[in-house]
Chain A
Amino acid sequence: MILNVENVTKKFGGLVAVDHVSFQVKKQEILGIIGPNGAGKTTLFNVISGVYYPEEGKIFFNGRDITKVPSYKRARLGIARTHQIVKPLNELTVLENVMVGACFGKTGASLKQGMAIAGEVLDAVGLGHKRDVITVKLNVPEKKRLELARALASGPEVILLDEVLAGLNPTEADEMLQVILKIKESGITILMIEHLMHAIMKISDKIIVLDHGRKISEGSPQEVASDPKVIEAYLGDPDLALRLIKSKGNTL
Protein backbone atom coordinates (compact mmCIF):
# COMPACT_ATOMS: atom_id res chain seq x y z
CA MET A 1 0.00 0.00 0.00
CA ILE A 2 1.50 3.28 -1.03
CA LEU A 3 -1.22 5.41 0.53
CA ASN A 4 -3.37 4.45 3.47
CA VAL A 5 -6.10 6.82 4.68
CA GLU A 6 -7.53 5.70 7.99
CA ASN A 7 -10.74 7.04 9.43
CA VAL A 8 -10.01 10.65 8.46
CA THR A 9 -12.35 13.44 9.58
CA LYS A 10 -12.09 17.11 8.69
CA LYS A 11 -14.54 19.67 10.03
CA PHE A 12 -15.08 23.35 9.26
CA GLY A 13 -16.91 24.74 12.23
CA GLY A 14 -20.08 22.69 12.38
CA LEU A 15 -19.73 21.30 8.88
CA VAL A 16 -18.16 17.86 8.61
CA ALA A 17 -16.52 18.03 5.20
CA VAL A 18 -14.85 14.64 5.41
CA ASP A 19 -16.47 12.14 7.75
CA HIS A 20 -14.47 9.11 8.92
CA VAL A 21 -13.20 8.16 5.48
CA SER A 22 -10.84 5.22 5.02
CA PHE A 23 -9.33 3.73 1.89
CA GLN A 24 -6.12 2.32 0.56
CA VAL A 25 -4.32 2.80 -2.70
CA LYS A 26 -1.93 0.30 -4.26
CA LYS A 27 1.16 1.35 -6.09
CA GLN A 28 0.57 2.23 -9.74
CA GLU A 29 -3.17 2.10 -9.31
CA ILE A 30 -5.62 4.71 -10.55
CA LEU A 31 -8.13 5.54 -7.83
CA GLY A 32 -11.14 7.50 -9.00
CA ILE A 33 -12.99 9.65 -6.49
CA ILE A 34 -16.53 10.64 -7.40
CA GLY A 35 -19.50 12.15 -5.66
CA PRO A 36 -21.99 14.97 -5.96
CA ASN A 37 -20.89 18.58 -5.55
CA GLY A 38 -19.95 19.39 -1.98
CA ALA A 39 -19.28 15.76 -1.15
CA GLY A 40 -15.87 16.62 0.29
CA LYS A 41 -13.68 15.37 -2.54
CA THR A 42 -11.42 18.42 -2.78
CA THR A 43 -11.23 18.65 1.01
CA LEU A 44 -10.05 15.05 1.05
CA PHE A 45 -7.28 16.04 -1.41
CA ASN A 46 -6.41 19.01 0.77
CA VAL A 47 -6.06 16.69 3.75
CA ILE A 48 -3.88 14.25 1.83
CA SER A 49 -1.65 17.00 0.47
CA GLY A 50 -1.41 18.63 3.89
CA VAL A 51 -3.24 21.89 3.25
CA TYR A 52 -5.37 20.94 6.28
CA TYR A 53 -4.67 18.58 9.10
CA PRO A 54 -7.55 16.23 9.94
CA GLU A 55 -9.22 16.38 13.35
CA GLU A 56 -9.32 12.62 13.48
CA GLY A 57 -7.72 9.72 11.69
CA LYS A 58 -4.33 9.07 10.18
CA ILE A 59 -2.68 9.11 6.79
CA PHE A 60 0.18 6.77 5.93
CA PHE A 61 2.42 7.20 2.92
CA ASN A 62 4.67 4.24 2.17
CA GLY A 63 3.98 3.05 5.68
CA ARG A 64 5.03 6.33 7.26
CA ASP A 65 2.57 8.34 9.31
CA ILE A 66 2.33 11.72 7.57
CA THR A 67 -0.80 13.00 9.33
CA LYS A 68 1.03 15.94 10.88
CA VAL A 69 3.71 16.43 8.23
CA PRO A 70 3.51 19.92 6.68
CA SER A 71 2.46 20.35 3.10
CA TYR A 72 5.85 21.23 1.66
CA LYS A 73 7.44 18.15 3.20
CA ARG A 74 4.81 15.90 1.68
CA ALA A 75 5.68 17.36 -1.70
CA ARG A 76 9.28 16.40 -1.05
CA LEU A 77 8.27 12.91 0.01
CA GLY A 78 6.58 12.48 -3.36
CA ILE A 79 2.97 13.62 -3.14
CA ALA A 80 2.11 16.08 -5.90
CA ARG A 81 -1.21 17.57 -6.90
CA THR A 82 -3.09 19.78 -9.30
CA HIS A 83 -5.84 22.19 -8.30
CA GLN A 84 -9.44 22.28 -9.39
CA ILE A 85 -9.12 26.03 -9.76
CA VAL A 86 -5.71 26.34 -11.36
CA LYS A 87 -3.00 28.10 -9.40
CA PRO A 88 -0.40 29.10 -11.94
CA LEU A 89 2.50 31.35 -10.98
CA ASN A 90 1.24 34.04 -13.31
CA GLU A 91 4.19 36.34 -13.85
CA LEU A 92 6.70 33.54 -14.36
CA THR A 93 7.19 31.81 -17.69
CA VAL A 94 5.70 28.39 -18.34
CA LEU A 95 9.16 26.84 -18.06
CA GLU A 96 9.87 28.59 -14.77
CA ASN A 97 6.57 27.36 -13.34
CA VAL A 98 7.52 23.78 -14.03
CA MET A 99 11.05 24.39 -12.75
CA VAL A 100 9.60 25.32 -9.37
CA GLY A 101 8.01 21.88 -9.28
CA ALA A 102 11.25 20.15 -10.24
CA CYS A 103 13.42 22.14 -7.85
CA PHE A 104 11.30 21.92 -4.72
CA GLY A 105 9.49 18.60 -5.12
CA LYS A 106 10.86 15.12 -4.60
CA THR A 107 13.16 15.60 -7.58
CA GLY A 108 15.00 18.32 -5.65
CA ALA A 109 16.77 19.41 -8.81
CA SER A 110 19.28 22.22 -9.05
CA LEU A 111 18.16 25.12 -11.24
CA LYS A 112 20.08 23.77 -14.21
CA GLN A 113 18.74 20.21 -13.84
CA GLY A 114 15.32 21.67 -13.16
CA MET A 115 15.40 23.50 -16.46
CA ALA A 116 16.21 20.31 -18.35
CA ILE A 117 13.53 18.31 -16.54
CA ALA A 118 10.96 21.04 -17.03
CA GLY A 119 11.69 21.11 -20.74
CA GLU A 120 11.16 17.36 -21.06
CA VAL A 121 7.97 17.33 -19.05
CA LEU A 122 6.54 20.25 -21.01
CA ASP A 123 7.18 18.35 -24.24
CA ALA A 124 5.49 15.29 -22.76
CA VAL A 125 2.27 17.18 -21.93
CA GLY A 126 2.35 19.05 -25.23
CA LEU A 127 3.27 22.50 -23.96
CA GLY A 128 6.85 22.54 -25.25
CA HIS A 129 6.14 25.29 -27.75
CA LYS A 130 4.88 27.61 -25.00
CA ARG A 131 7.83 27.29 -22.67
CA ASP A 132 8.92 30.92 -22.78
CA VAL A 133 5.45 32.41 -22.62
CA ILE A 134 4.46 34.34 -19.50
CA THR A 135 1.93 32.04 -17.83
CA VAL A 136 -0.82 34.62 -17.45
CA LYS A 137 -1.24 34.50 -21.23
CA LEU A 138 -2.19 30.81 -21.35
CA ASN A 139 -5.81 29.71 -21.80
CA VAL A 140 -7.51 27.46 -19.27
CA PRO A 141 -6.83 24.07 -20.91
CA GLU A 142 -3.17 25.09 -21.24
CA LYS A 143 -3.06 26.10 -17.60
CA LYS A 144 -4.46 22.68 -16.67
CA ARG A 145 -1.67 21.01 -18.58
CA LEU A 146 0.80 23.31 -16.94
CA GLU A 147 -0.43 22.25 -13.50
CA LEU A 148 -0.03 18.64 -14.52
CA ALA A 149 3.46 19.29 -15.86
CA ARG A 150 4.46 21.08 -12.68
CA ALA A 151 3.23 18.19 -10.56
CA LEU A 152 5.01 15.64 -12.76
CA ALA A 153 8.28 17.53 -12.75
CA SER A 154 8.40 17.18 -8.99
CA GLY A 155 9.00 13.44 -9.50
CA PRO A 156 6.04 12.23 -7.45
CA GLU A 157 5.14 8.71 -6.36
CA VAL A 158 1.52 9.73 -5.90
CA ILE A 159 -0.22 12.41 -7.88
CA LEU A 160 -3.58 13.91 -6.98
CA LEU A 161 -5.51 15.17 -10.00
CA ASP A 162 -8.42 17.46 -9.18
CA GLU A 163 -10.72 17.66 -12.21
CA VAL A 164 -8.03 17.91 -14.83
CA LEU A 165 -10.59 17.09 -17.53
CA ALA A 166 -13.09 19.82 -16.63
CA GLY A 167 -13.37 22.51 -19.25
CA LEU A 168 -11.65 20.47 -21.94
CA ASN A 169 -13.40 19.63 -25.20
CA PRO A 170 -13.77 15.90 -26.04
CA THR A 171 -10.58 15.78 -28.13
CA GLU A 172 -8.55 17.52 -25.49
CA ALA A 173 -10.06 15.29 -22.80
CA ASP A 174 -9.06 12.19 -24.76
CA GLU A 175 -5.53 13.49 -25.14
CA MET A 176 -5.40 14.17 -21.42
CA LEU A 177 -6.59 10.61 -20.69
CA GLN A 178 -3.75 9.28 -22.81
CA VAL A 179 -1.32 11.42 -20.84
CA ILE A 180 -2.75 10.09 -17.56
CA LEU A 181 -2.38 6.49 -18.72
CA LYS A 182 1.21 7.21 -19.67
CA ILE A 183 1.81 8.63 -16.21
CA LYS A 184 0.47 5.43 -14.72
CA GLU A 185 2.71 3.34 -16.95
CA SER A 186 5.72 5.27 -15.72
CA GLY A 187 4.99 3.83 -12.25
CA ILE A 188 3.15 6.70 -10.63
CA THR A 189 0.08 6.14 -8.48
CA ILE A 190 -2.87 8.37 -9.36
CA LEU A 191 -5.82 9.64 -7.35
CA MET A 192 -8.26 11.56 -9.47
CA ILE A 193 -11.42 13.52 -8.81
CA GLU A 194 -13.57 13.74 -11.89
CA HIS A 195 -17.08 14.66 -12.88
CA LEU A 196 -16.84 13.14 -16.35
CA MET A 197 -18.26 9.73 -15.47
CA HIS A 198 -17.49 8.13 -18.75
CA ALA A 199 -13.86 9.02 -18.49
CA ILE A 200 -13.31 8.07 -14.89
CA MET A 201 -15.14 4.76 -15.27
CA LYS A 202 -12.96 3.89 -18.20
CA ILE A 203 -9.65 4.76 -16.65
CA SER A 204 -9.91 3.88 -12.93
CA ASP A 205 -8.81 0.61 -11.36
CA LYS A 206 -10.87 1.35 -8.30
CA ILE A 207 -13.43 3.98 -7.40
CA ILE A 208 -14.60 5.40 -4.12
CA VAL A 209 -17.81 7.43 -3.86
CA LEU A 210 -18.23 10.25 -1.38
CA ASP A 211 -21.50 11.82 -0.31
CA HIS A 212 -21.83 14.44 2.41
CA GLY A 213 -18.28 13.69 3.48
CA ARG A 214 -18.88 9.96 3.93
CA LYS A 215 -17.58 7.14 1.81
CA ILE A 216 -20.71 5.38 0.60
CA SER A 217 -19.23 2.92 -1.83
CA GLU A 218 -15.95 1.44 -2.97
CA GLY A 219 -14.99 -1.07 -5.61
CA SER A 220 -14.37 -1.63 -9.27
CA PRO A 221 -16.09 0.79 -11.65
CA GLN A 222 -18.81 -1.79 -12.39
CA GLU A 223 -19.47 -2.55 -8.75
CA VAL A 224 -19.77 1.09 -7.90
CA ALA A 225 -21.97 1.92 -10.85
CA SER A 226 -24.50 -0.76 -9.87
CA ASP A 227 -24.47 0.09 -6.17
CA PRO A 228 -27.98 1.28 -5.22
CA LYS A 229 -26.54 3.63 -2.59
CA VAL A 230 -24.57 5.41 -5.27
CA ILE A 231 -27.56 5.78 -7.53
CA GLU A 232 -29.50 7.16 -4.61
CA ALA A 233 -26.81 9.68 -3.76
CA TYR A 234 -26.84 10.93 -7.28
CA LEU A 235 -30.61 11.19 -7.41
CA GLY A 236 -30.26 14.64 -5.92
CA ASP A 237 -28.50 15.34 -9.17
CA PRO A 238 -30.63 13.54 -11.80
CA ASP A 239 -28.42 14.58 -14.64
CA LEU A 240 -25.40 12.98 -13.04
CA ALA A 241 -27.38 9.90 -12.09
CA LEU A 242 -28.43 9.48 -15.68
CA ARG A 243 -24.88 9.75 -16.88
CA LEU A 244 -23.78 7.26 -14.26
CA ILE A 245 -26.40 4.76 -15.35
CA LYS A 246 -25.57 5.27 -18.99
CA SER A 247 -21.84 4.91 -18.44
CA LYS A 248 -22.45 1.54 -16.82
CA GLY A 249 -23.11 0.06 -20.21
CA ASN A 250 -19.85 1.03 -21.81
CA THR A 251 -17.40 0.62 -18.98
CA LEU A 252 -14.44 -1.58 -19.81
Chain B
Amino acid sequence: MKRGYTLIWLIPLILAISLLPVIAHSVIYRETIFLILMYITLAVSLNIILGYTGYVSFGHIVFYGIGGYTSFYLMYRFGVHLILAMIMGGILSAIIALIVGEAVLRLRGAIFAIATIGINEAIKSLVTNLQFLGGATGMFFNFKIYKTYGGAAKAIWFAYWIMVVVTIICLLTSYFIKNSKFGYGLFSIREDEDAAVVLGVNTKRFKSIAFAISAFFPGLVGAIFFFKAGNIEPDDAFHLVKSIEMIFMVMLGGFGTVSGPPIGALLYERLKGILLINPLFKNLHMAITGFILLIIILFAPGGIVGWFRNRFKKLRSLLE
Protein backbone atom coordinates (compact mmCIF):
# COMPACT_ATOMS: atom_id res chain seq x y z
CA MET B 1 0.00 0.00 0.00
CA LYS B 2 1.36 3.33 -1.02
CA ARG B 3 -0.30 6.32 0.48
CA GLY B 4 -2.29 8.02 -2.26
CA TYR B 5 -1.57 11.52 -3.45
CA THR B 6 -5.14 12.32 -4.36
CA LEU B 7 -5.50 15.19 -1.92
CA ILE B 8 -2.54 17.05 -3.42
CA TRP B 9 -4.61 18.05 -6.40
CA LEU B 10 -8.13 17.51 -5.10
CA ILE B 11 -8.13 19.94 -2.17
CA PRO B 12 -6.55 22.84 -4.11
CA LEU B 13 -9.04 22.17 -6.90
CA ILE B 14 -11.99 22.35 -4.51
CA LEU B 15 -10.60 25.53 -2.94
CA ALA B 16 -10.10 27.12 -6.33
CA ILE B 17 -13.64 26.27 -7.38
CA SER B 18 -14.94 27.60 -4.07
CA LEU B 19 -13.25 30.96 -4.62
CA LEU B 20 -14.72 31.40 -8.10
CA PRO B 21 -17.89 33.22 -6.99
CA VAL B 22 -15.83 35.73 -5.01
CA ILE B 23 -13.43 36.38 -7.84
CA ALA B 24 -16.23 36.61 -10.38
CA HIS B 25 -18.54 38.55 -8.03
CA SER B 26 -21.25 36.21 -9.19
CA VAL B 27 -24.25 35.07 -7.21
CA ILE B 28 -25.12 32.64 -9.99
CA TYR B 29 -21.71 31.01 -9.65
CA ARG B 30 -22.21 30.82 -5.93
CA GLU B 31 -25.50 28.97 -6.32
CA THR B 32 -24.03 26.52 -8.82
CA ILE B 33 -20.93 25.87 -6.77
CA PHE B 34 -22.93 25.50 -3.59
CA LEU B 35 -24.84 22.69 -5.29
CA ILE B 36 -21.62 21.11 -6.55
CA LEU B 37 -20.10 21.16 -3.07
CA MET B 38 -23.27 19.75 -1.62
CA TYR B 39 -23.31 16.93 -4.15
CA ILE B 40 -19.63 16.23 -3.51
CA THR B 41 -20.20 15.91 0.23
CA LEU B 42 -23.23 13.69 -0.24
CA ALA B 43 -21.45 11.43 -2.71
CA VAL B 44 -18.21 11.23 -0.73
CA SER B 45 -20.02 10.36 2.49
CA LEU B 46 -22.20 7.73 0.82
CA ASN B 47 -19.04 6.22 -0.64
CA ILE B 48 -17.83 5.39 2.87
CA ILE B 49 -20.63 2.89 3.43
CA LEU B 50 -21.30 2.00 -0.21
CA GLY B 51 -17.86 2.04 -1.77
CA TYR B 52 -15.59 1.19 1.14
CA THR B 53 -17.83 -1.17 3.11
CA GLY B 54 -19.98 -2.56 0.28
CA TYR B 55 -23.39 -1.87 1.85
CA VAL B 56 -25.89 -0.39 -0.58
CA SER B 57 -27.59 2.26 1.50
CA PHE B 58 -30.37 3.01 -0.94
CA GLY B 59 -32.29 5.29 1.36
CA HIS B 60 -29.26 7.27 2.47
CA ILE B 61 -31.04 10.57 1.93
CA VAL B 62 -32.87 9.88 5.20
CA PHE B 63 -29.85 11.25 7.08
CA TYR B 64 -29.90 14.45 5.06
CA GLY B 65 -33.55 14.81 6.02
CA ILE B 66 -32.94 14.07 9.69
CA GLY B 67 -30.08 16.58 9.86
CA GLY B 68 -32.15 19.13 7.97
CA TYR B 69 -35.19 18.78 10.19
CA THR B 70 -33.25 18.70 13.45
CA SER B 71 -31.28 21.85 12.73
CA PHE B 72 -34.19 23.66 11.12
CA TYR B 73 -36.33 22.99 14.15
CA LEU B 74 -33.60 24.17 16.52
CA MET B 75 -33.07 27.36 14.55
CA TYR B 76 -36.77 27.97 14.00
CA ARG B 77 -37.95 27.28 17.53
CA PHE B 78 -35.03 28.26 19.73
CA GLY B 79 -32.99 30.52 17.48
CA VAL B 80 -29.94 28.27 17.78
CA HIS B 81 -26.98 29.41 15.66
CA LEU B 82 -26.52 27.58 12.34
CA ILE B 83 -23.18 26.05 13.27
CA LEU B 84 -24.43 24.58 16.52
CA ALA B 85 -27.72 23.47 15.01
CA MET B 86 -25.88 21.90 12.10
CA ILE B 87 -23.53 19.94 14.33
CA MET B 88 -26.46 18.73 16.39
CA GLY B 89 -28.24 17.70 13.20
CA GLY B 90 -25.16 15.77 12.08
CA ILE B 91 -24.76 14.11 15.46
CA LEU B 92 -28.40 13.08 15.60
CA SER B 93 -28.10 11.62 12.10
CA ALA B 94 -25.05 9.66 13.20
CA ILE B 95 -26.74 8.44 16.38
CA ILE B 96 -29.80 7.31 14.47
CA ALA B 97 -27.50 5.56 12.01
CA LEU B 98 -25.84 3.76 14.93
CA ILE B 99 -29.17 2.63 16.37
CA VAL B 100 -30.74 1.71 13.04
CA GLY B 101 -27.46 0.20 11.87
CA GLU B 102 -27.33 -2.08 14.88
CA ALA B 103 -30.41 -3.74 13.41
CA VAL B 104 -30.26 -3.38 9.63
CA LEU B 105 -26.53 -3.90 9.13
CA ARG B 106 -27.14 -7.55 9.91
CA LEU B 107 -28.89 -7.73 6.56
CA ARG B 108 -26.83 -8.17 3.46
CA GLY B 109 -26.98 -7.21 -0.18
CA ALA B 110 -30.27 -6.26 -1.72
CA ILE B 111 -32.27 -6.95 1.46
CA PHE B 112 -30.25 -4.25 3.22
CA ALA B 113 -30.95 -1.89 0.33
CA ILE B 114 -34.70 -2.48 0.57
CA ALA B 115 -34.63 -2.05 4.34
CA THR B 116 -32.97 1.36 3.98
CA ILE B 117 -35.63 2.41 1.47
CA GLY B 118 -38.22 1.28 4.01
CA ILE B 119 -36.59 3.33 6.75
CA ASN B 120 -36.52 6.45 4.61
CA GLU B 121 -40.18 6.07 3.68
CA ALA B 122 -41.20 5.27 7.26
CA ILE B 123 -39.44 8.34 8.66
CA LYS B 124 -40.80 10.49 5.85
CA SER B 125 -44.39 9.50 6.61
CA LEU B 126 -43.76 9.87 10.33
CA VAL B 127 -42.48 13.43 9.86
CA THR B 128 -45.42 14.19 7.58
CA ASN B 129 -47.67 13.41 10.53
CA LEU B 130 -45.81 15.28 13.24
CA GLN B 131 -47.55 18.60 13.73
CA PHE B 132 -44.72 20.20 15.72
CA LEU B 133 -42.55 19.76 12.62
CA GLY B 134 -45.17 21.38 10.44
CA GLY B 135 -46.69 18.18 9.03
CA ALA B 136 -46.87 17.81 5.27
CA THR B 137 -46.32 21.50 4.56
CA GLY B 138 -43.21 21.72 6.72
CA MET B 139 -41.75 24.85 8.29
CA PHE B 140 -40.82 28.31 7.00
CA PHE B 141 -38.25 30.68 8.42
CA ASN B 142 -39.22 34.08 9.54
CA PHE B 143 -36.66 36.37 7.90
CA LYS B 144 -35.72 37.66 11.34
CA ILE B 145 -33.68 34.51 11.78
CA TYR B 146 -31.16 35.75 9.22
CA LYS B 147 -30.56 38.92 11.28
CA THR B 148 -28.04 37.10 13.47
CA TYR B 149 -25.92 36.64 10.37
CA GLY B 150 -26.25 40.25 9.19
CA GLY B 151 -29.29 39.87 6.94
CA ALA B 152 -30.43 37.35 4.38
CA ALA B 153 -27.75 38.17 1.78
CA LYS B 154 -24.91 37.69 4.25
CA ALA B 155 -26.53 34.63 5.74
CA ILE B 156 -26.45 32.94 2.35
CA TRP B 157 -22.74 33.71 1.94
CA PHE B 158 -22.21 32.41 5.43
CA ALA B 159 -23.97 29.17 4.54
CA TYR B 160 -21.81 28.95 1.43
CA TRP B 161 -18.55 29.14 3.39
CA ILE B 162 -19.78 26.61 5.91
CA MET B 163 -20.52 24.31 2.99
CA VAL B 164 -16.95 24.77 1.72
CA VAL B 165 -15.55 23.83 5.12
CA VAL B 166 -17.82 20.81 5.47
CA THR B 167 -16.85 19.59 2.00
CA ILE B 168 -13.14 19.82 2.77
CA ILE B 169 -13.55 18.03 6.11
CA CYS B 170 -15.61 15.33 4.43
CA LEU B 171 -12.95 14.79 1.75
CA LEU B 172 -10.20 14.62 4.38
CA THR B 173 -12.24 12.10 6.37
CA SER B 174 -12.80 9.96 3.31
CA TYR B 175 -9.09 10.08 2.45
CA PHE B 176 -7.87 9.23 5.93
CA ILE B 177 -10.33 6.36 6.29
CA LYS B 178 -9.21 4.97 2.96
CA ASN B 179 -5.58 5.04 4.06
CA SER B 180 -6.09 3.75 7.59
CA LYS B 181 -6.25 0.40 9.27
CA PHE B 182 -9.94 1.07 9.81
CA GLY B 183 -10.32 1.48 6.06
CA TYR B 184 -8.63 -1.84 5.42
CA GLY B 185 -11.07 -3.44 7.82
CA LEU B 186 -13.93 -1.92 5.81
CA PHE B 187 -12.53 -3.15 2.49
CA SER B 188 -12.20 -6.64 3.88
CA ILE B 189 -15.87 -6.48 4.90
CA ARG B 190 -16.76 -5.36 1.39
CA GLU B 191 -14.83 -8.19 -0.21
CA ASP B 192 -15.86 -11.01 2.11
CA GLU B 193 -17.48 -10.36 5.44
CA ASP B 194 -17.15 -13.95 6.65
CA ALA B 195 -13.44 -13.98 5.88
CA ALA B 196 -13.00 -10.58 7.53
CA VAL B 197 -14.44 -11.65 10.86
CA VAL B 198 -12.25 -14.75 10.98
CA LEU B 199 -9.25 -12.53 10.23
CA GLY B 200 -9.99 -10.57 13.39
CA VAL B 201 -12.03 -7.65 12.08
CA ASN B 202 -14.80 -6.64 14.46
CA THR B 203 -17.14 -6.41 11.50
CA LYS B 204 -20.19 -5.38 13.47
CA ARG B 205 -18.53 -2.39 15.07
CA PHE B 206 -16.68 -1.39 11.90
CA LYS B 207 -19.88 -1.39 9.88
CA SER B 208 -21.72 0.64 12.50
CA ILE B 209 -18.98 3.25 12.68
CA ALA B 210 -18.74 3.49 8.90
CA PHE B 211 -22.51 3.88 8.69
CA ALA B 212 -22.52 6.59 11.38
CA ILE B 213 -19.73 8.55 9.66
CA SER B 214 -21.45 8.30 6.33
CA ALA B 215 -24.67 9.52 7.97
CA PHE B 216 -23.01 12.42 9.81
CA PHE B 217 -22.05 14.47 6.74
CA PRO B 218 -25.42 14.27 4.96
CA GLY B 219 -26.86 15.50 8.27
CA LEU B 220 -24.62 18.57 8.08
CA VAL B 221 -25.45 19.14 4.42
CA GLY B 222 -29.18 18.95 5.11
CA ALA B 223 -28.80 21.56 7.83
CA ILE B 224 -26.98 24.01 5.59
CA PHE B 225 -29.20 23.46 2.58
CA PHE B 226 -32.48 24.05 4.40
CA PHE B 227 -31.06 27.00 6.33
CA LYS B 228 -30.25 28.57 3.00
CA ALA B 229 -33.57 27.59 1.44
CA GLY B 230 -35.55 29.03 4.35
CA ASN B 231 -38.11 26.24 4.37
CA ILE B 232 -38.21 22.50 4.78
CA GLU B 233 -40.86 19.94 3.90
CA PRO B 234 -40.92 16.12 4.03
CA ASP B 235 -41.04 15.61 0.27
CA ASP B 236 -37.86 17.64 -0.18
CA ALA B 237 -36.00 16.33 2.82
CA PHE B 238 -36.62 12.63 2.26
CA HIS B 239 -36.79 12.56 -1.52
CA LEU B 240 -35.77 9.06 -2.62
CA VAL B 241 -34.66 10.35 -6.01
CA LYS B 242 -31.90 12.30 -4.26
CA SER B 243 -30.69 9.03 -2.80
CA ILE B 244 -30.46 7.64 -6.29
CA GLU B 245 -28.60 10.74 -7.42
CA MET B 246 -26.04 10.13 -4.68
CA ILE B 247 -25.55 6.55 -5.82
CA PHE B 248 -25.34 7.71 -9.42
CA MET B 249 -22.55 10.17 -8.62
CA VAL B 250 -20.57 7.54 -6.73
CA MET B 251 -20.92 5.04 -9.57
CA LEU B 252 -20.17 7.60 -12.28
CA GLY B 253 -16.97 8.73 -10.60
CA GLY B 254 -15.83 5.35 -9.36
CA PHE B 255 -16.94 3.67 -6.15
CA GLY B 256 -14.48 2.91 -3.39
CA THR B 257 -12.02 5.56 -4.52
CA VAL B 258 -11.22 8.94 -2.95
CA SER B 259 -11.40 11.02 -6.11
CA GLY B 260 -14.25 9.14 -7.83
CA PRO B 261 -17.26 10.51 -5.94
CA PRO B 262 -16.18 14.18 -6.16
CA ILE B 263 -15.51 13.79 -9.88
CA GLY B 264 -18.86 12.05 -10.30
CA ALA B 265 -20.63 14.79 -8.33
CA LEU B 266 -19.03 17.56 -10.36
CA LEU B 267 -19.92 15.90 -13.66
CA TYR B 268 -23.44 15.07 -12.56
CA GLU B 269 -24.18 18.61 -11.45
CA ARG B 270 -22.86 19.98 -14.73
CA LEU B 271 -24.72 17.39 -16.77
CA LYS B 272 -27.92 18.15 -14.95
CA GLY B 273 -27.33 21.88 -15.35
CA ILE B 274 -26.78 21.60 -19.09
CA LEU B 275 -29.74 19.30 -19.63
CA LEU B 276 -32.11 21.39 -17.53
CA ILE B 277 -31.26 24.61 -19.37
CA ASN B 278 -31.87 23.13 -22.79
CA PRO B 279 -35.64 23.24 -23.48
CA LEU B 280 -35.57 20.00 -25.45
CA PHE B 281 -33.58 18.02 -22.90
CA LYS B 282 -35.20 19.62 -19.88
CA ASN B 283 -37.80 16.90 -19.62
CA LEU B 284 -35.50 14.22 -20.87
CA HIS B 285 -32.80 14.62 -18.26
CA MET B 286 -34.13 11.74 -16.20
CA ALA B 287 -34.11 9.37 -19.16
CA ILE B 288 -30.61 10.48 -20.15
CA THR B 289 -29.37 10.00 -16.59
CA GLY B 290 -30.86 6.53 -16.64
CA PHE B 291 -29.22 5.72 -19.94
CA ILE B 292 -25.79 6.84 -18.72
CA LEU B 293 -26.22 4.88 -15.50
CA LEU B 294 -27.07 1.76 -17.46
CA ILE B 295 -24.00 2.17 -19.65
CA ILE B 296 -21.77 2.59 -16.59
CA ILE B 297 -23.20 -0.46 -14.82
CA LEU B 298 -22.94 -2.64 -17.91
CA PHE B 299 -19.63 -1.57 -19.34
CA ALA B 300 -17.62 0.42 -16.79
CA PRO B 301 -18.58 -0.72 -13.30
CA GLY B 302 -15.49 0.99 -11.92
CA GLY B 303 -16.73 4.37 -13.11
CA ILE B 304 -14.50 7.02 -14.61
CA VAL B 305 -11.73 6.60 -12.07
CA GLY B 306 -11.85 2.82 -12.41
CA TRP B 307 -11.58 3.15 -16.17
CA PHE B 308 -8.54 5.43 -16.01
CA ARG B 309 -6.90 3.37 -13.31
CA ASN B 310 -7.12 0.23 -15.39
CA ARG B 311 -5.59 1.89 -18.42
CA PHE B 312 -2.96 4.00 -16.70
CA LYS B 313 -1.71 2.03 -13.71
CA LYS B 314 0.68 4.83 -12.76
CA LEU B 315 -2.26 7.09 -11.97
CA ARG B 316 -3.50 4.80 -9.24
CA SER B 317 -1.90 6.71 -6.37
CA LEU B 318 -3.25 9.99 -7.75
CA LEU B 319 -6.83 8.82 -7.97
CA GLU B 320 -7.58 6.38 -5.21
Interface residues of chain A, those whose CB is within 8 Å of chain B, are 49-51, 70-73, 75-76, 80-81, 83, 87-92, 95-96, 99-101, 103-106, 110-111, 114-115, 150, 154
Contacts and interface: CB of A to CB of B under 8 A. Distances in A.
B188 A89 contact: yes
B192 A111 contact: no
Contacts, number: 86
Interface in B280-310: none
A154 B198 CA distance: 11
B197 interface: yes
- Which of B190, B198, B256 neighbours the largest number of chain A CB atoms within 10 Å of its CB? B198
A87 B194 CA distance: 8
B199 A101 contact: yes
A72 B197 contact: yes
B195 A104 contact: no
Interface in B176-201: 179-181, 184-185, 187-188, 190-192, 194-201
B1 A96 contact: yes
B137 interface: no
B187 A72 contact: no
B203 interface: yes
Contact of B199 (A51, A105, A110): A105
Given A99-B1, A104-B185, A90 B200 contact: no
A89 B191 contact: yes
B184 A103 contact: yes
A81 B198 contact: yes
Contacts of B32: none
Interface string B68-89: 0000000000000000000000
Given A72-B199, A88-B195, 10 more contacts: A71-B198, A72-B198, A88-B191, A89-B188, A89-B191, A91-B191, A92-B187, A96-B1, A100-B196, A101-B200
A51 B191 contact: no
Contacts of A89: 187-188, 191-192, 195-196
B202 interface: yes
B192 A150 contact: no
Contacts of B191: 88-92
Interface in B141-199: 179-181, 184-185, 187-188, 190-192, 194-199
